[in-house]
Structures are given as structure tokens and as C-alpha cells.
Amino acid sequence: CEADPALASLAERHPYRSPARQQCIFTALVRSVCSQQLSNERAAAVYEKVRAAADEATAGVGGGAGGGDGVVSYQGVGGAATISPARLLAVPEACWVAGFCGLSGNKARSVRELAKAFSLPRADGTPLLTDTALRELPEAAFVAELTALYGIGKWTAQMVQMCVLGRPNVLPTDDYGVKKGMQLVYGGDMPKPSRMEEIAERWRPYASIGSHFMWKAADEANAKTKAAAKAKKEAKAKGAAKKAKGARGGKS
């Protein structure tokens, strides 16, 4: 915050805490696909349905849900996976259509393609994806590797780096919250990527932390807007009630 005084007050109100980093990358990606354009509650329900379907498909194989033979079990570097690539591939391919476990057709395809990428050799002979290999890649290569997969975009890849790997110097230029926070804190129009990079230069090598504060700035503004709207609604209701009471009194 010394390099950017604009963050000082935000840092006081919202102290930064490093991500727990307990999830493996594969689990995080599947969760991300399940959560696209859904509320947190709905996304969690969809993910649990997918996980349950994978467990059911492998029940009795390698110890069922516990999976101990390396075929249906999977260990991510950041912690044990709650879902594994091989388990997902055990679900019959015909099941992966729109409506399966609450997934859209595109999401179903994306989850299956993820499972293939993390468990099957590639057609071009390059190694399959692993937690370990991905964690060793620099930011640009990491993003390129994941965005080559169906249904995984740059934003998702950057969120994994920030929130799962805990990398401190990631700037998600496609993130609306970061853009809005920058506009609120630094003024001007909604910033384009070039302007965002310019602002973030004062945060380097901690762009992830600066982005965290931009999210908080956007959250504060959103909370104030909601509070103002609620107060206006309550005042209007109170005025209407007072007017109605006066009208009744005039008739007595």
C-alpha cells in the first residue's frame, strides 16, 4: 500500500488473507465449470450431483467411493480431490448430454473433456495434464494450457492461479469486479486492459492482492447501492402508509 496510497483505506477495512490452497487444480476446474452463470447454492448442488454420479459409476471398483487403486482415486498436489478424472470417465459417454446432473450440453462436454485431459494420453503424444506439471508453469503458459481445453477461458485459468495456487502477481483483466473497482478507486471510464495494466504496475509484484482490493471496492459500492435502494423503498412504503392513514382519518 506504500506504493499505492489509494489502497490504504481499503486495506484497513479488508485485510488481505492468502488463499487456503486446499483444492487440487482438477477439482477446482470441475467446480468452476459447474458454477458458470449459477448461484453458489445451485452450483454446489450441481457439483455434488456430478460427484455422486461418478462415485456410482465406479462403485465396487478399487474400493468404491474411497478408491484405492490409482484408477479411480486421484490426489492433487494442493489436497485430495473430491472428484477424479477416471471416475468421471467411468460414467457412460451417452450420459454426458444436456440435463445430466443439471449441466447444460456445453458444460457436460467441458467436464468430460477435462477428465480426458487429466487421465488419457494426448493424440499428439504430449503428456496428459497433471497438478504437478501445471503448478510448475509460468502464468502465460498456464493460461495457454488450460484455455486449450473446451469450455475453459482465460478468466477461469487466472482465478485458479489466484485462488487455488495462491499466485500473488495475477491481474484478471477480464474480471468485471476488478474493472469496476478500478473505476471507483481511480476514476474515469470503465478501464480497458491497457489501462488496467497501467494501474496495476504500481501493485507489482502483488497484482493479485491489488485485484482483491478492487473486488472489495466494488462490493462496498454495490452494498451502498442496495442499502440506498432499500431505504428509498422503505421511505416510500412509510409515506404511502401515512397517506393511507390520513385518508382514513379524514373519512371518520
Do 146 and 30 share a domain, yes or no? yes
* Residue 234 burial (C-beta neighbours within 10 Å; 0-12, 13-18, 19+): exposed
Do 115 and 52 share a domain, yes or no? yes
Paired with 79 in beta bridges are 76
Do 66 and 143 share a domain, yes or no? yes
Looking at the chain, the whole-number percentage of residues with pLDDT higher than 90 is: 46
Boundary-marking domain end, from 164, 195, 216: 164
Do 102 and 181 share a domain, yes or no? no
* Residue 207 burial (C-beta neighbours within 10 Å; 0-12, 13-18, 19+): buried
d(C-alpha 188, C-alpha 81), whole Å:
43
The conformational region for residue 70 under phi > 0 = left, psi -120 to 50 = alpha, else beta, is: left
Boundary-marking domain end, from 164, 193, 209: 164
d(C-alpha 21, C-alpha 235), whole Å:
45
Do 95 and 194 share a domain, yes or no? no
pLDDT band, residue 250 (cuts 50/70/90): low
Boundary-marking domain end, from 106, 133, 164: 164
pLDDT at 61 over 60: no
Q: Which of 87-96, 128-137, 188-197 has the highest mean pLDDT?
A: 188-197
Mean pLDDT confidence for 125-151: 89
Confidence (pLDDT) at 103? 93
pLDDT band, residue 102 (cuts 50/70/90): very high
In total, how many domains does the chain have? 2
Instruction: Give the domain extent around 231.
Output: 5-15+175-251
Q: From residue 72, give the alpha-carbon distance in Å to each of 23, 55, 134, 188.
A: 18, 9, 21, 52
Which residues, other chains included, contact 88 with Cβ-Cβ below 8 Å and sequence gap of 6+?
A: 30, 50, 54, 111, 112, 114, 115
Q: CA neighbours within 13 Å on the CB side: how many for 243?
A: 6
Task: Output the nine-digit C-alpha cell for 115.
Answer: 477428465
Do 142 and 29 share a domain, yes or no? yes
The alpha-helical segments, DSSP class H, found in the chain are 8-13, 25-35, 40-57, 85-90, 105-117, 131-135, 139-147, 154-159, 176-186, 193-200, 207-251
State how beta strands 79-80 and 75-76 pair: antiparallel
Do 141 and 185 share a domain, yes or no? no
Length of the chain: 252
Lowest average pLDDT, out of 58-72, 166-180, 201-215, goes to 58-72
Asked whether residue 169 is assigned to any structural domain, the reply reads no
87, 64 Cβ separation under 8 angstroms: no
What are the pLDDT digits (tens) for 154-200? Answer: 999 999 999 889 999 999 999 999 999 999 999 999 999 999 999 99
Asked whether residue 85 is assigned to any structural domain, the reply reads yes
pLDDT at 252 over 90: no
Q: How many CB atoms lie within 10 A of CB 129?
A: 23
Confidence (pLDDT) at 204? 93
pLDDT at 147 over 70: yes
Element (H, E) at 76: strand 75-76
pLDDT at 53 over 50: yes
Confidence (pLDDT) at 77? 47
Q: Specify the CATH number for the domain of residue 85.
A: 1.10.340.30
Helix (H, G, I), strand (E, B) or coil at 80: strand
d(C-alpha 159, C-alpha 181), whole Å:
17
Asked whether residue 215 is assigned to any structural domain, the reply reads yes
Confidence (pLDDT) at 244? 79
